[in-house]
Amino acid sequence: MEENLICGLHAVLAALKNNPQGVEEIWTSDSRADKRIGRIIETARAARVKIHKTPRAALDRMVEGVRHQGVVARLRATPVRNEHDLEVFLANLPEQPLLLVLDGVQDPHNLGACLRSADAAGVQAVILPREHTAPLSAVARRAASGAAESLVIFQVINLARCLRALKVAGIWLVGASQEADTDIFRADLCRPLALVLGGEGKGLRRLTQEECDMRVRIPMAGTVESLNVSVAAGVCLFEVVRQRGV
């Protein structure tokens, strides 16, 4: 499956609305004619995006194994935002930014769900290491439900160096770890902040933890030791939102 393909009603509509010039063409199932698919076709026509009516089986082959809901889009290739772009971005942040750093989330469903929570919480940017991270594939984009097209996302070669640059820019790094002593609900999160979460299983890498200014944990009342990374991201991000009274 091509990495520049996205599918699903929310993801395709979000791409057409947020970055129509980045959508090259779309395919819709010739067996679907409801209002939701009609809205996508209308938006695509307004943006002068090429539309193809095609059998559902053809869509199944294009994004094999992914539930496409009767619509697939091809995005134009865009340059990946990198460390240099991040420097420029950091120089123009709002007074109290909220960033999300994901250190090695390798499941595309988890990555997409984290992006969805980040968008809902008003995160200004998401930072990913280039290696050992799930790609922004059709699976991740569909799980993000349009957030992958609306968020500013950076992929960096050296995450530790990137974290140091964030600190130089005045951003407080808060790492989420169940081994931390500080309860996130008792931590002061009303400051320029980057929330740092680790990947499935191992969590934050040692070098990443060492760069964090503070580590926090989500208190667990049951028998499980930790939450899925996408759930933890939602809990932590919205605790920041709660404290800031946004």
Q: What is the pLDDT of residue 246?
A: 67
Residue type, 52: H
pLDDT of 198 higher than 90: yes
Element (H, E) at 64: none
Tokens matching residue 89: 């971005």
Helical residues (DSSP H) of the chain, grouped into ranges: 9-18, 35-46, 56-62, 83-90, 108-120, 138-144, 147-150, 159-168, 206-211, 229-244
Percent share of the chain, pLDDT over 90: 67
Q: What is the pLDDT of residue 138?
A: 80
Residue 165 to residue 173: CA distance in whole angstroms = 11
Could you tell me the residue ranges of all domains in the chain?
5-75, 83-244
Residue 111 to residue 137: CA distance in whole angstroms = 10
Tokens matching residue 151: 């968020």
Q: What is the pLDDT of residue 80?
A: 76
Residue type, 39: R
Strands 5-7 and 71-75: antiparallel
Q: Please name which of 110, 56, 102, 89 lies closest in space to residue 165, comparing C-alpha atoms.
A: 89
Quick check: 235 and 227 in contact, CB under 8 A? yes
Looking at every residue in the chain, the average pLDDT score rounds to: 92
Q: What is the pLDDT of residue 1?
A: 61
Assign a CATH topology to domain 83-244: Alpha/beta knot (3.40.1280)
Q: What is the pLDDT of residue 65?
A: 86
Strands 214-217 and 182-183: parallel
Tokens matching residue 35: 């209002």
Domain 5-75 bears CATH identifier 3.50.50.60: no
3-state secondary structure of 47: coil
pLDDT of 11 higher than 80: yes
Tokens matching residue 81: 């935002």
pLDDT of 239 higher than 90: yes
Residue type, 74: R
pLDDT of 184 higher than 90: yes
Q: What is the pLDDT of residue 43?
A: 96
Average pLDDT over residues 8-35: 91
pLDDT tens digits, one per residue of 109-134 = 999 999 999 999 999 999 999 988 99
Percent share of the chain, pLDDT over 70: 98
Residue 182 to residue 213: CA distance in whole angstroms = 12
Query: Where residue 22 falls among pLDDT bands split at 50, 70, 90?
Result: confident
pLDDT tens digits, one per residue of 79-115 = 679 888 998 999 998 889 999 999 989 999 999 999 9
Average pLDDT over residues 187-208: 92
